[in-house]
Structure formats: C-alpha cells, structure tokens
C-alpha cells in the first residue's frame, strides 16, 4: 500500500529505504558479481586485504580486532564507490549486519556489552564470508519482494513526532492506518535502541549515531507533569521510592503523549491506529502503558476497539514479568506485549 515510514534512527531509515526500494535484479547482480570477484582476488590471490581508510570511531579496537577492522574498512571503501544509490543502500544493509556479527558485542543482551575475555581468544570471524551470506540472503528477499510488490509510493521520514514534527508526505485527507511500536520506556533504563545501531551507523557514516537514545522518548527530563493520566498513580508510587526514576518515567510518557498528539493531526476521519506496547515495571510497580495509549487517543476523538495480547516473537529486551491487557492485573508470563487498537470517529 502507499505508505510513509517514520523513525529517528538513521540506520533504521536506511534499512527501511533499502527494503522498500525496487531494484533491477540483473543490474544488482552485475555489482554483486564484481564484488564477489574482488573478494576472491583478495582472499585467494593477493593473500592480504588492501589498505583502506578507517573511520574515526571512538574505542574502535575495543569492539573489533585489527584484522576485522582492516576487512571492514576495505568493504566500506568498495561500497562507497558504488554510484547507484539504491544498490549501495542494499549492500550497506548487509554490511551493517556484518559489522554487528563480527564485533566483540555479546549476544542476548539488551544493552551493548563486550563478550568475555575467554571468548575473545577464539573469536575469529570470516568477515567476507559472513558478508557474502548476508548479501545472498537479502538478494533472495528482494526477489520475493519484487514478485509481490504493487505499484505504490513508499517514503521514509526522519520526523520526530515527540517534538511535534509531522511525517511527510501527508496524503490528502490524512493517513488511514497507523502501525507503530514505540519504546517500552526511556532508553537509559530499558532497551538501549541507539546502542545496538551505533557501531554499524558509525562504520557507514550515518548522522547522530550516538544521539539516538537522547533523541528518543524520555531522552531529556521535562518540567511538565502528567495530570489525570492512567500512569499518574503509578508514577506517584515510584516517586515515593525513587524521585529520580519517577522523573525519568514521567519524561517518557510526556514525550509519548506529544508523539500521539502529532500523530492525531495527520489521521483521516476514520483512521485505524495500532500501537504495540509493553507494560513495563519500575521499582516493582506496573505502568499501564496500554491504558495510557487509549486515554491519549481518546483526547483526539478516537475510541478503543480492542487490545490483543501476544507473546513477543523476537525482540531483545530485559527479562521481566509482563502484565496482561487488563489494567492493574499482573501476569506471571514473561515476554508479552499488547497491541492496542483505536479508531478515529471524529474530524480533526
């Protein structure tokens, strides 16, 4: 369908752009074949990876071995010479994933940690091999996408709705459908989204690689307070235990409310809204984010249609108990999230 994607993370926007852009497979294959030939030359004939400019990334050798840095720099230099932007973006997506996989990043964590010293001794990733496999998999994905893709317009926006920016282009009459999954909480204390993209973004040279978490909801404290809100009571309980944490939690919901106000401005009269959220706990106190979403959209002429509870399929996050979609009722099941569905019933 005609669509606009919106995200503050530059790596997310790059991936979204690459995955939604149709590319002629024969043209792509010409580039991939040249790249494969150069890999073969380097690995089996020259025997040594040629020197290439290394990006100025803080603590680079803390996250990568010298050999990996040399290989990544060579790939980066080769990719940057590709003139076709769509093909370059396609290959950069595979490169970004390769950067993560060949780094010293510890798997299974919700923040950026280095793997233990014992594992480092035996860690010797095949950079070119991993990169080639990513490209091959993504090429198959592109082929499948092209078979099903209709003639539609797709755009990617960098608008930060929490600061009042509106995603563009805006269709005549507004958006008919909004599907999004905002953070479960401020990045300082939940999943640090920006940390996961930082290394790849810096290798590629994307802007604001280290500022994503600060730009995200709750990244800055606010002097405002939440009144008559479904989360107000929970925040007051948190404040009685830890005033600083209460301020951080409050800042997140203030930004979330601002974002919802921005989204409401671009809805069509009968728009459907789907928010995938998690009811996290802070200081053992459950925060009813699902009820907050419903309440915020009601202020903009929307009604609550349903809340669907599902197990989180594959999302990196801290282990925690998740409550059900019934406000105030907790659940012993971990890794659940709520799909809150609302519908617009009045004109803006």
What pLDDT, in 10s, does the model give residues 53-65? 999 999 999 999 9
294 neighbors 342 (Cβ within 8 angstroms): yes
Domains, in order of start, for the chain: 9-148 (no CATH), 160-182+217-344 (3.40.50)
The backbone region for 301, taken as left when phi is positive above 0, alpha when psi lies in -120 to 50, beta otherwise, is left
Distance CA 178, CA 266 (A): 10
User: pLDDT above 70 covers what percent of the chain?
Assistant: 86
CA separation for the pair 158, 161 (Å, rounded)? 9
CB count within 10 Å of CB 49 equals: 18
Per-residue CA distances from 323 to 96, 187, 238, 290 (Å): 35, 20, 17, 10
**10-residue mean pLDDT series, the chain (348 residues):** 92 95 96 88 74 92 93 95 96 96 78 80 90 96 94 93 91 94 67 74 89 77 77 93 90 93 94 94 91 96 94 55 40 67 80
Q: Which of 58, 43, 134, 63 is nearest to 95 (CA)?
A: 134
The 3-state DSSP class for residue 260 equals helix
**Beta bridge pairs of residue 342:** 273, 304
As a whole number of angstroms, the distance between CA 146 and CA 253 comes to: 40
pTM here is: 0.84
Largest CA distance in the chain: 70
Rounded to the nearest integer, the mean pLDDT of the chain is 86
**Which tokens in the block code for residue 8?**
């503050």
Smallest Cα–Cα separation from 213: which of 178, 247, 162? 162
> How far, in Å, CA of 91 to CA of 176, rounded?
33
Give the Cβ contact number of residue 347 at 10 Å.
10
pLDDT for position 263: 95
Contacts of 232 (CB under 8 A, 6+ apart): 226
Beta-carbon neighbour count of residue 211 at 10 Å? 14
What residues contact residue 4 under an 8 Å CB cut-off, 6+ apart? 154, 155, 156, 157, 167, 168, 169, 170, 175
pLDDT tens profile 75-120 = 999 999 999 999 999 999 999 999 999 999 876 655 677 888 888 8
> What pLDDT is attached to residue 156?
96
């Amino acid at each position: 369908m005609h669509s606009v994607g919106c995200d503050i993370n530059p790596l997310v926007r790059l991936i979204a752009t690459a995955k939604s852009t149709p590319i002629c497979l024969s043209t792509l294959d010409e580039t991939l074949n040249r790249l494969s030939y150069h890999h073969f030359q380097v690995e089996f004939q020259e025997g040594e990876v040629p020197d290439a400019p290394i990006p100025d990334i803080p603590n680079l050798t803390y996250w990568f071995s010298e050999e990996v840095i040399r290989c990544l720099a060579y790939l980066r230099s080769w990719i940057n010479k590709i003139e076709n932007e769509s093909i370059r973006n396609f290959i950069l997506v595979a490169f970004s994933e390769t950067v993560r996989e060949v780094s010293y990043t510890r798997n299974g964590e919700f923040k950026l940690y280095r793997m233990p010293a014992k594992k480092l001794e035996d860690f010797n990733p095949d950079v070119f091999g991993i990169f080639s496999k990513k490209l091959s998999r993504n090429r198959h994905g592109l082929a499948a996408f092209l078979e099903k893709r209709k003639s539609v317009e797709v755009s990617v926006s960098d608008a930060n709705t929490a600061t009042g920016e509106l995603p563009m282009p805006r269709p005549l009459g507004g958006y008919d459908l909004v599907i999004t999954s905002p953070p479960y909480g401020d990045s300082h204390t939940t999943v640090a989204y920006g940390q996961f993209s930082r290394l790849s973004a810096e290798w590629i040279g994307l802007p604001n690689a280290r500022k994503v978490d600060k730009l995200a909801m709750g990244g800055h404290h606010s002097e405002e307070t939440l009144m008559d809100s479904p989360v107000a009571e929970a925040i007051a309980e948190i404040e009685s235990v830890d005033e600083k944490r209460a301020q951080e939690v409050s800042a997140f919901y203030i930004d979330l409310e601002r974002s919802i106000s921005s989204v409401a401005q671009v809805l069509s009269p009968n728009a459907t809204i789907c928010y995938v959220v998690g009811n996290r706990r802070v200081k053992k106190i459950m925060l009813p984010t699902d009820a907050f979403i419903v309440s915020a959209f009601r202020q903009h002429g929307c009604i609550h249609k349903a809340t669907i509870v599902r197990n989180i399929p594959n999302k990196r996050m801290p282990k925690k108990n998740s409550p059900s979609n019934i406000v105030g009722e907790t659940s012993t099941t971990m890794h659940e999230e709520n799909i809150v569905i609302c519908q617009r019933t009045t004109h803006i």
